[in-house]
Amino acid sequence: MNGVSHGFLRRLLGTLKVLPLFRRQKKQRLNWWLPTITGTFPAMERAVVRCVPAEPKLSVSIVLQDGKTRHLRRDQTEPLGQALARIANNVSKGQAKKAKKSKKTQAEADPGTPVPSSELLPVRLFSQDGEAVAEDVPNEEAWKDGTVLQIGETSYRVERNPPTLTELQLPRSLMAGFPVCPKLRVEFGSAQDCLFRWYHEEKIDPVETASTAASNSWVEAPAGSERVFMPTNEHIGRRLKLVCIPGNGERRYGLPRELESVGPVEAGPGACTFEARHLYTKKVTVPGLIRMVSYNILADIYARTELSRTVLYPYCAPYSLELDYRQNLLKKELAGYNADIICLQEVDKSVFVDSLGPALDAFGLEGLFRIKERQHEGLATFYRRDKFSLLSQHDIAFNQALLEDPLHRELRDKVATCPQVEESLLKRSSALQVSVLQSQNDSSRKICVANTHLFWHPKGENIRLIQVAIALSHIKHVINDMYPATPLILCGDFNATPSTGTYTFVNSGSITEDHESWDSEVKEQRFAMPLAHQFSLKSACGEPAYTNYVGGFHGCLDYVFIDANVLEVEQTSSQDRVKKILNC
């Protein structure tokens, strides 16, 4: 593994114990697979009806005998007879055009001309009992699940609002030894209830032409029926194909879709240093334990700067700073921790939506995202859905909260006495992500998870102190006024070493007005005030030698602070040795 993964990705991993106070290989064809899951009526065609109460129109989609698909959109309140007449006209017109032999006649035909009634195919809709549905019945009532649409001699079983794939994508970059997780969206169903089949190309010959290669056979991959697929070295140089059937948890399935990868599987980087930590996180935690991960994953916009390439990460090969490569490593590392809660910083919006969100969702984690103002990156919190449910979110931007929330009036008035500090503070897009989670096993057990990324500048300690004061005041309001006695986990990238006022304030509960962290080299930016908060917080991982190791700096900037009255530390990950980081 290239040093990039631990050269700049700041990781904190720990397991927290809840104290008693918290007890509140063969070639396969798709049609070989389908009959086993589609239920009854295997010989009857489908008429797929989408009817949503909030929308004025419904749609009917059918595949005709000539293989062409017809889509019909009609008002839900329209009488059924008008919809059937439109279907008859469209189908009959298509057959009439096919029968014409003269291209000139086809070109001159008016597509809007109705087909003579004598040439129309009979079109009827029958109930499950075989009775014809009256033509004056509104569409929304007529097109029921299980009814039968009869067009001429062909019968179509109506499936109303079946599970439907509205989006299906594969990652652009595929590497052997790293999980492949499709991005998918399902209407009238869920990703957790879909069925999957993975295939790989049988053979890739580099001397073949593109057209010949495209005709290669697909072979079902062993153990290729899960949502996540792990390519091996045997797949290097071969493309992958996924067949997905949407489901809804009630053994109801929609139409399948298949998707081929853009490029072949590439060789991976070999053993990664995080795999040693995975030895201690092979299983998810038992009830009463919470495994917590905090990680600054470096936004792509910052990884591509000249400063990143030449100063911060000069030991990294250029390819290892590429987003596609880093995402493969991230997905494997984060998934391997089997965490209950993951808090990430510097998450590109596109990475959350298209990569990490779908990937971690496949591993059982629900994701929440808070973008920074005027930025393309932000904060992400993931929680294990079979362990927690989300009660509420209370995210804020520090600058906006200071200006608008009465909670911070005293602090706002004090900051206003120093215009340069106020201006600098209000320019920052730093944010706080606050999520209140509830145990799936015991609704009386809740936890407040706060995730943040404070101002980055080494000389901005006074700004960080104000930001964290706003954060703790806001969290106090959430807990005291809405969820009394709920324990707190506050984590993220604080950009503050253990010797700074920010760490002292969070860890000890107060900071004096004369603390050196209030000092500024610029006289006009000198600002100081005593601060205090109500929480009994401690760093779950202590004060490790570093959480950030880059060219020219290594130190502890990232923390998982826990409520010491309610939570205790069960286990933390060992500190990686520097030589492992630089020589991996």
Q: How far apart are the first and last CA of the chain?
A: 5
Confidence at residue 558, expressed as pLDDT on a 0 to 100 scale:
98
Closest C-alpha among 218, 260, 235, 249 to residue 179: 235
**Sign of the torsion formed by the C-alpha atoms of 354, 360, 363 and 365:** negative
Q: At 420, is the secondary structure helix, strand, or coil? A: helix
Q: 193 — phi, psi (to 5°)? A: -105, 5
Asked if 494 and 468 touch (Cβ cutoff 8 Å), the reply is yes
Asked if 554 and 546 touch (Cβ cutoff 8 Å), the reply is yes
Asked if 248 and 165 touch (Cβ cutoff 8 Å), the reply is no
How far apart CA 242 and CA 182 sit, in angstroms, is 9
Confidence at residue 553, expressed as pLDDT on a 0 to 100 scale:
86
Residues of the chain predicted below pLDDT 70: 1-43, 94-119, 204-216, 521-524, 574-584
What does the buried/exposed string (b/e) look like for 93-119 if buried means 16 or more CB atoms within 10 Å of the residue's CB?
beeeeeeeeeeeeeeeeeeeeebeeee
Model pTM score? 0.85
The token duo for 248 is: 């809804």
| Phi-psi map region of 341: left, alpha, beta (phi>0 left; psi -120 to 50 alpha) | beta
Task: Catalogue the active-site residues.
Answer: 493
How far apart CA 548 and CA 554 sit, in angstroms, is 5
Asked if 165 and 185 touch (Cβ cutoff 8 Å), the reply is yes
Asked if 532 and 509 touch (Cβ cutoff 8 Å), the reply is yes
